Amino acid sequence: MACMWYPIGFTVAANPSSAVVKMDEDGTATLLTGTVETGQGSLTILAQIVAQELGIATDDVVVVSADTDATPMDTGAIASRTTYVTGNAARMAAEKVKLMLFDVAAPMLGVKPHQLEAKDHKIVVKGYPQRNMHIADVANHARVVTGEPPIGSASFNPATVALDPETGQGKPFGTYVYATQIAEVDVDDETGEVEVIRMVASHDCGTPINPMLVEGQVEGGISMGVGFALQEEILFNAQGVQINPNLTNYIMPTSLDMPEIEVDIVDNYDPTGPFGAKGVGEPTLVPTAAAILNAIYNAVGVRITSLPATAEKVFNAIQAKREAEPKQITA
């Protein structure tokens, strides 16, 4: 077993994200963001955040991303920061749009703007769901009657306090995530070969905005962690040239090496995150190797202190332990 905490975003250094949201006259919204989708699903998450804020469907949000000339600045899809930092910027930009729509709808519905909410594609009087206007009608009215097109922009930079060089005190990150992973391993004490049979991963990432994507991140992180723990190693010759610069002998996990994985998402709420979300990216692989090496110790009583824990290392450690132990003479 291994536990960890991990920060979201850069250490003290500024790492802002900006976003622009606009609502069109058909009730769909467009989000402009500088962040990039690499398959982790971050643009889906951002669309979900904007949709939730505006009370529309995720499919009604068009995301335009990663054109550094046309989209607002984003520090990047790094440091496990997209959901938290870019997500906050997107939510705040969408909130501005929503408040503009409230200002336009309030006199038509005969109430004050703060008495309104956005849900089910409508601007609704709180507590009186029958008193509503379709969000597309409000957006169109804002464009062609009041002349205030509903467009919002916002930037978010995690609030930090620089570390004191003498005491080390400060607040270097906006938020932290926590996780525990448990490994079950089978160690062959005649060969030193380790097989990971099962991993259970429990992750607190704040509100899981898209649980299926959280699972995907955790499962992927564990596969990298299994490689880190047992297989992957860059080897150099005496001249410093890598001798395994290919996938033939730089060994990464295949489907046959992967354990059964159980993902446990700890539903939590961080008041500084968009709808309570924090992040899940790099943290997924942080405790994996430690959990596997602790499980090896639990199985055969040897501590492996360098990675990867190859069969050779584990076998040598088992041999050394046997030699150090007093011989048992059977009766």
Partner 1 sequence: MVTVTININGENRTATVPPETTLLRALRDNFNLPGSKLGCDVGDCGACTVIVDGKPINSCLMLAAQADGRKVLTIEGLASMNGVHPLQRAFEDCASLQCGFCGPGVIMSAKALIDENPDPTIPQIRDALGGNLCRCTGYVKMIEAIQIAARVMRGETAEVNR
CA distance 293 to 302: 9
Q: How far is CA 223 from CA 214, 219, 288, 307, in A?
A: 14, 6, 9, 15
Rank residues 261 and 277 by Cβ distance to partner 1 and give the closer one.
261
Q: What is the C-alpha to C-alpha distance for residues 116 and 95, in angstroms, rounded to an integer?
A: 13
Interface with partner 1 (CB under 8 A), residue total 24
182 near partner 1, rule: CB under 8 A: no
CB 118 within 8 A of CB 136: no
What residues between 201 and 230 interact with partner 1 by CB under 8 A? Answer: 212-213, 215-216, 219-224
Choosing from 53, 262, 282, 323, which is the catalytic residue?
Answer: 282
* CB 2 to partner 1: min, Å: 17
256, two tokens: 């046959």
Q: Specify the residue, 38 or 319, whose C-beta has the smaller distance to partner 1.
A: 38
Residues 16-45 that bind partner 1 (CB under 8 A): 38-41
Please, what is the minimum distance in Å from the beta carbon of residue 38 to partner 1?
6
The least distance separating partner 1 from the CB of residue 128, rounded to whole angstroms, comes to 38
Contact track, partner 1, 145-174, x by CB under 8 A: ------------------------------
262: β partners: 200
- Contact between 181 and 283 (Cβ < 8 Å): no
Q: Assign residue 303 a region: left if phi > 0, alpha if psi is -120 to 50, beta otherwise?
A: beta
Of 41 and 208, nearer to partner 1 (C-beta) is 41
How many whole angstroms separate alpha carbon 55 and alpha carbon 94?
10
DSSP three-state, residue 329 = coil
Which residue, 39 or 165, has its beta carbon nearer to partner 1?
Answer: 39
Interface stretch with partner 1, choices 123-131, 142-150, 234-242, 256-264 (CB under 8 A): 256-264
Minimum CB distance to partner 1 smaller for 124 or for 218:
218
Out of 78, 258, 266, 311, the only residue in the binding site for partner 1 (CB under 8 A) is 258
Please indicate whether residue 184 is annotated as part of the active site: no
Looking at residue 115, the DSSP 8-state letter turns out to be G
User: Residue 49 Cβ, how far from partner 1 at the closest point, in Å?
Assistant: 18
Judged by CB under 8 A, the residue of 234, 238, 247, 331 near partner 1 is 247
DSSP string, 200-266: EEEEE-BS-SSHHHHHHHHHHHHHHHHIIIII----B-TTS-BS--STTTS----TTTPPEEEEEE-
Name residue, tokens 């938290």: 84
Residue nearer to partner 1 on the CB measure, 65 or 223: 223
Closer by beta carbon to partner 1, 174 or else 259: 259
Shortest gap between Cβ of 248 and partner 1 (angstroms)?
Answer: 5
CA distances (Å), origin 77, targets 36, 162, 213: 6, 23, 15
Q: What is the DSSP letter of 84?
A: I
- DSSP strand E in the chain: where? 2-8, 17-23, 29-33, 61-65, 116-119, 122-125, 128-134, 151-156, 175-187, 194-204, 260-265
Find the binder of partner 1 among 47, 118, 124, 261 (CB under 8 A): 261
Shortest distance, CB of residue 56 to partner 1, whole angstroms? 22
**Residues catalogued as catalytic:** 282
Which residues are at the interface with partner 1 (CB under 8 A)?
Answer: 38-41, 212-213, 215-216, 219-224, 246-248, 252-256, 258, 261
